[in-house]
Structures are given as C-alpha cells and as structure tokens.
Structure 1
C-alpha cells in the first residue's frame, strides 16, 4: 500500500553499534570517589560500567567503526548511500564538520550529501526527522545516520556528579525510502528552551569564551565537585525538573498527533539517561515501568546514541515485533526535546 500523500515512506532498516574497548566500572569509580560505594552507584543509576574512548580515539573514529559494522552486516553497500548525517557534540575539529571527514574515511561517493548535527540527547529523534524529510522530499533514498560522542574527553576526572553517568559510543542507522508501505517514522514533536542552556554546558572552547589559563583553573564547589570551565558542567536537579516538566506534555502531544492511545502503544524508548530519571519519567507519563525499557547498564549515558543502542539491543534480543507501535523520546542538553512515533 502506498503512502496516501504519495511521498516515499521512510523506515529504519538496520542499526549497528560500536563501543570503545576501555571499561570504566563502578569499582574504579568507588576507589576514585570513596563517598560512592560500587553497589550504590548501580542501585541509584542502574549503570555497572561505561566504555571510554582511548586517548587518541575520537568521535570520528567511533563513527567510522560503527559505519563499517553496518556495512559488514550486509545491510547496505557503501556505494548505495546518498546522504550522511552525523550527530555529535564532540567533533574531531571545530572546522570542518566531522561528516565530511567520515564520508571520505568510509569511502562514500563524492555525490553523497554530508551534514553535522550538533545536538545531544534529543539528537537521534531530530536526525530521524531530517532523514524522513529528505526521503519524503525525494532528496535522498538511503541515508546513513551516525550518532557518536566522546563525552569522557570533556569531563574532569574529579567531577563525581557527571563522571559516573556518561560513556562513549557510536551507532550507525540505515534509513531507507520505501514505495510500498506507509511511513514507519513519524509524526514528530519538538521543543526547545534555550533559557536553560546553562544547566548543561561546556563553557570554554568556543568564540564566546576561548580556552585560557583562567578557564583551565580547577574549582571545587560546595558539594566537593571539581571541574573547570574547560570541562562539562551539569545542574542535575534542573535537568530532572526540566524533564519532568516538558517531556510528559510532549508525549501527550505526540500521541494526539499520531492518533495513538496510551493503551495502544507497545513500548516507549526514552533517552537512556539513568535508572532514576527513567523510573521517575514512567510515573510522570502514566505508563507501566515495563513499557519503558532500560538498556544502559553496560554503556552508561551515551548521549545521542542511547536510543539507537536500546533499539539495537531489543532487536537482537528478539523482543521487537513487526508492526509494534513505539514512542521515541529524546531530551536533554539545549535544553532540547523531541518525540517520534515509530512503527517497527
């Protein structure tokens, strides 16, 4: 059956995941921060370990490795890709964009479009909308969507507030156009509140505040957290309050737009921040906790990669069934959020 609009439909055809080799486990963190016990970290956050990029390993390197895994799976040949989207907030260089570098490194055609998207936790959903839009417009037919970040490189090792949360990783998703079915991706809802940008920020390193001896100076706050302006700063309570305030109404708006009922959805895959955030969110959304899976125990919060990592894990476990109605919810740095209706 053709899409009633006459447009080419879009679907997620395959997902590959790549994680760095180095593991940061809770035992190591408890040695670095005696105030934390290893079992307490897992109980509160639901995270046992995170993967950490090597000293010379960049987001671009992880992106290339994820793409090569996708090609090795047989899902697509590299010469069939006609557009590349790379979502990252830790690019190899300020200029040029990492998508252009990755295009060359993985041997895509010079006729391939390549674009960076500088979003974090909402990035996968935003990029799905871009991919679906390119396909619907006839601008592309087979899109390689890569998410990749190395947050460990912008976190101070003495910052016990964020170091236990984040891990590094990358995913490569194949988004294909299909003339034979209705669109499997969308509709979408979006939201932005830039007034909260300061709550999750890397202050130095851009043109607003170039790095200097002063920005590198370590500071310890009243709670004993150590960081500098050169490293990531997060106001956890403010981010949690934003999530609880904005995501439930966005969820309701998406269900209305998709004409789905709460009882009719099979699964909600939210940004895999940590156990505490997702347990709280399930209550705020008014859904059983079983509908909101957790797949971050061995990866931590991998920023824009958390949703595709969860999708890939569920698919490999065989728990995703054809035709399932899935809600995707991304939220975080920006402040930015987005939701998508997805039919598997």
Structure 2
C-alpha cells in the first residue's frame, strides 16, 4: 500500500445539453423506454454539442479543478489523458492540452486509450511514477464523447452512454490517505464485443461506418464471471475482506449490472454508490465522478476504505483499494 498518496482533489465537467428519457419518448414513441430504463437505471444523459470534443470537455474539467482547489497549471508534473474518443489519431491530446492549459514544458504528457477500466489503470501508472520519485503529482484527466459514435436509432446505446470529463490530481502529502495494491485483468477475445469499426488505420475510414457496436449480453456474462474474481484478488492482495470495505464504487455500467454483481459477490447495497440515474454511463469518467459525488453527499468520509473497480471495453479490468 502506498501511503501518503491522495486523490481527494477531483472535479468534473458535464456538457450543457441534457437529454432526458421523456425527450427520447417524444422522439421515438415506438421505443419501450420504460423497459430499458428499468434495466439501466438511467433517466438522463449529457450530450456534447456537435463542435464540442473530448479535448474541450477535458479542458473545462481541468479549469474547474484548478479553480476549485486553487491550483496553478505550472505546478503539475505529469498529465495523463484517458479517452477512447480523442480529437485526433495523432498528435496526442495530452500535448495539445499542455499548451492550452499553459502548463510547464517539463511535464510528462501521455495519452492512454482505455475506457471503462481507464481511470483505475491510469491511477496505477500515476501511482508508480510517484513512487519512483520521477514526479510529485499527476493530473489524471478522463474525457469521453461516445455520443458521437452512436446511431440515432440505436435503442440501447443511446439510452446508456453520457458524455463527460473528470480531472483528478494524485499527489504526495502527509495525510493518512493511501492507494492500495492493484489487480488487473485483460481478455482480448472480447475486443469486438464493444467496438467502433472504421475508426482506425485497419479499416476503411468512411464516416458512415464509424458507429458504436455493443454486444450487451456477452459483456454482461464476462462482467459477472470476471469482476467477482478480480475483486477477491484485490482484497487478498491488500490483506482485507469484504467486511473491511466501507464503500464499493464500481464502473457505472448499468443498474442491472451493478445489482447482479452485488448479489453474486454478497455486497450489501447500502455499501455501494451509484449516480447512474442522473449521470448515465460516462465510461472512463464514471468512477472519479462517482467518488466526487459520494464525497459531496457525505457517503464517503476521510478514513473510509473504498474499493474501486473498472471493467468493460477491451475486455479490460482494474481494481484497487483507496483509504480516503
């Protein structure tokens, strides 16, 4: 366990455009909104404007973080930008943001292409960098605009995914906060179960082919089989058991997924946190946004042991335990 590392400085940004289920019901009267809503637990989503990108959302999350915690851009030692909807295949969005945010020219700027497990796995990268004494702090910036890849007639994905960004500063301090040992997982056999074909060099780059495809049942089966195993490994790697954890914060996939996981693992529902109803599935941003909301709602207090676990696209998984 890495003592003296804190991620309590978290801010986020949501686009101005809010899309409610009532609005979708008006646009698509033939859709069974109630049935999907019951499974997802999502009542509204945030949708970026046509000219608003992940880089734009990330920039705003950083501005919010700097203002809320009175930080100066020049104080940042490293910037990790996590997104599966970057502005360009190249150059890296992290390099563009370094200039836009007026950060030092001496920082490490790095893009990480990960979705649902992106925050946890990037936290592992940042934690390792701090422990190596290469840096004293790291800005972990997640930003996603999945809406740009969703077909307007997609009855499932359109009701799940929400655009958002989050900015989290991992830093060394003298507090009792800490980051535990990490556990990871990857099964590339599931790569094509959640994919945007035509979005890279392998495929013909025709815009009309760049649409999000998700095999929900296959991902659900993977989640229910592998997440409990990874969670148990995380507890064992940190010398803890289920009763030692004060709060579980899962990737905010859907209500159905979270309910089934709690039932299978044996987690009491009052020990989990979810903000799906108002935020939707914000992919890599979901865990940091949930941590921030749980703290603001006083469901997460200093000293709590929080188990966070990301899972999904890739397939990719990551988990650790934080002492808040």
TM-score by length of 2: 0.96
> 2-side partners of 1:41 and 1:242: how far apart?
21
In structure 2, what is the equivalent of residue 339 of structure 1? 319
Does residue 241 of structure 1 match 2:235? no
User: Which segments of 5 or more consecutive residues in structure 2 lack a partner in the other structure?
Assistant: none
Alignment: residue pair count: 324
- 2: distance between equivalents of 1:82 and 1:271? 27
2:194 matches 1:207: no
Sort the Cα spacing of 1:293 and 1:35 in 2 relative to 1 into closer, same or farther, 3 A.
Answer: farther
Select the residue among 264, 267, 282 that pairs with 1:287: 267
Match of 1:219 in 2: none
Alignment match, 2:233: 253
SS in 1 for 2:233: helix
Does the 8 Å contact 1:10/1:136 carry over to 2?
Answer: no
The structure in which a higher percent of residues are helix is 2
Q: What is the rounded CA distance, in whole Å, between the counterparts of 1:66 and 1:25 in structure 2? A: 23
Residue 44 (structure 1) aligns with: 39
CA distance in 2, matches of 1:75, 1:269: 27
Residues of 1 paired with 2:267 and 2:103: CA distance?
Answer: 43
Find the structure with the greater CA-based Rg: 1
* 1:294-333 pair list within 5 angstroms: 294-333=274-313
Kindly state the Cα deviation for residue 181 of structure 1 after the two structures are TM-superposed.
5.3
User: Where in structure 1 do 4 or more consecutive aligned residues deviate above 4 Å?
Assistant: none
Of residues 148-157 and 32-41 in structure 1, the stretch that sits farther from structure 2 once superposed is: 32-41
Aligned mate of 2:119, from 119, 124, 142: 124
Alpha-carbon offset, residue 294 of structure 1: 1.1
Aligned residue for 2:64? Answer: 69
Match of 1:93 among 71, 83, 88: 88
1:170 aligns to 2:165 (yes or no):
yes
TM norm structure 1: 0.91
RMSD of equivalent CA atoms: 1.6
Q: CA deviation at 1:75?
A: 4.4
How many Å separate the matches in 2 of 1:319 and 1:234? Answer: 32
SS at match of 1:187: coil
CA distance in structure 2 between the partners assigned to 1:36 and 1:268 by the alignment: 33
Residues 207-261 of structure 1 deviation map (CA, whole Å, 9 limit, x = unaligned): 110223xx73xxxxxxxxxxxx310000000000000010000000000000111
Are the aligned partners of 2:36 and 2:156 in contact in 1 as well (CA < 8 Å)? no
Unaligned runs of 5+ in 1: 217-228
**Structure 1 SS opposite 2:277:** coil
